Structure 1
């Protein structure tokens, strides 16, 4: 069956939507690099990455955590990370007692140390529990970052989100794809800065030849 002009136009438009959102993310390269540099410094101080989100964003949180904890690229160092949506018993237990808006904030409060990092993922920037998790992390002195979509929503406008990366699209599929690209870039650059800032051995630790 021949491809019609209508089909070709639809394919072109689908790629154009993704290209535009990707270019907008690339325009934030300086802020992305600074965030990754700060994250690498926190990993050096013994910090861990705490990631959270709802539904599909919860699977993104798991994806981020496992890539830091068990890198698929041989030779890359494992860095401590955890996804708060993985523990169904805790999520449902906190939700039934304290309300769904507190499921991430409660866990951040009990898991986090000051050197840690919190990454909240929300497709539209309007998830109250992701915002509460970031607010709690901010109050505890953690590095905070949000991956959001659309216009960024309440999360992007909150001072609790120290670093905000926006997938500038109203298409949920495009937002999802840009978020995957964003956290793969984060992973790559964090490792780059982590290696560059690796503390030198003290003289008495150097091997004697």
Structure 2
């Protein structure tokens, strides 16, 4: 009789993701729907999303911006979204001249405008280049969001709002972040399909976001 191919570690990994997604369904879907609703009020009128991360989180950030500049599912206009780590000449020049901890903050200072959104992704929430970007973004009048691993962490504390995945596994954090990125795009697309109130009123008008959250929750069932 052949040995089972799946190891106990593989089963633990799947259980970790299942548990994290269960908590995300209960605690994070409404939050991500609000984020998508807010972007739907900002990007179509000339605002932009700046996104950044390190390593796998950089890939997640670029995945998000690609979905907004291109499309997530249905045909729609292109929207301004920039993955800061993909600016290789800027990254290497700033890192060389100022230090790696400044590679995102200096780009935020250059590209960010009041009312834009800065989304920073980190499994630990402790990367100096991301906390520096958060500080710069808030000082420049950007709305700063973070996707991180468990609280407490410095990046979540610096952000205006943070989605924190409560698990000890960095891999599980990144996998849950990918789900959140897709649901953020889905919420954005649903919100832009109908008239959206101005961004400054969004926090007082949660109805559409709640509808989007319910739809996303059903898809995760």
| TM-score of the alignment, normalized to the shorter chain, above 0.5 | yes
Alpha-carbon deviation of 1:34?
2.1
Of the two structures, which has the highest relative contact order with CA contacts closer than 8 Å and spacing of 6 or more? 2
Pair 1:71-2:74 in alignment:
no
- Could you say what secondary structure the match of 1:196 adopts? coil
Identify which range, 52-61 or 182-191, moves more after superposition: 52-61
Alpha-carbon deviation of 1:78?
2.1
Matching residue of 1:21: 20
Coordinate RMSD, CA, aligned: 2.0
Q: Hey, what's the Cα distance between the residues in 1 that align with 2:94 and 2:195?
A: 39
- Map residues 39-54 of structure 1 onto 2, 5 A cutoff: 39-54=39-54
Matching residue of 1:144: 144
Q: Hey, what's the Cα distance between the residues in 1 that align with 2:192 and 2:3?
A: 49
Between the two proteins, the alignment pairs up a number of residues equal to: 196
TM-score, structure 2 as length reference: 0.81
Kept after mapping to 1: 8 A contact 2:72/2:186: no
- Could you say what secondary structure the match of 2:151 adopts? coil
Structure 2 unaligned spans of 5+: 198-221
Kept after mapping to 2: 8 A contact 1:123/1:148: yes
Change (3 A) 1:54 1:10: closer
Matching residue of 1:62: 62
Kept after mapping to 1: 8 A contact 2:150/2:165: yes
- Could you say what secondary structure the match of 1:125 adopts? coil
- Map residues 74-85 of structure 1 onto 2, 5 A cutoff: 74-85=74-85
- Map residues 40-189 of structure 1 onto 2, 5 A cutoff: 40-158=40-158, 161-189=159-187
Change (3 A) 1:8 1:56: closer
Alpha-carbon deviation of 1:194?
2.0
Q: Hey, what's the Cα distance between the residues in 2 that align with 1:138 and 1:85?
A: 19
Kept after mapping to 2: 8 A contact 1:124/1:152: no
Kept after mapping to 2: 8 A contact 1:84/1:104: yes
Q: Hey, what's the Cα distance between the residues in 1 that align with 2:57 and 2:152?
A: 15
Kept after mapping to 1: 8 A contact 2:41/2:196: no
User: Deviating runs (4+, > 3 A) in structure 1?
Assistant: 1-4, 6-12
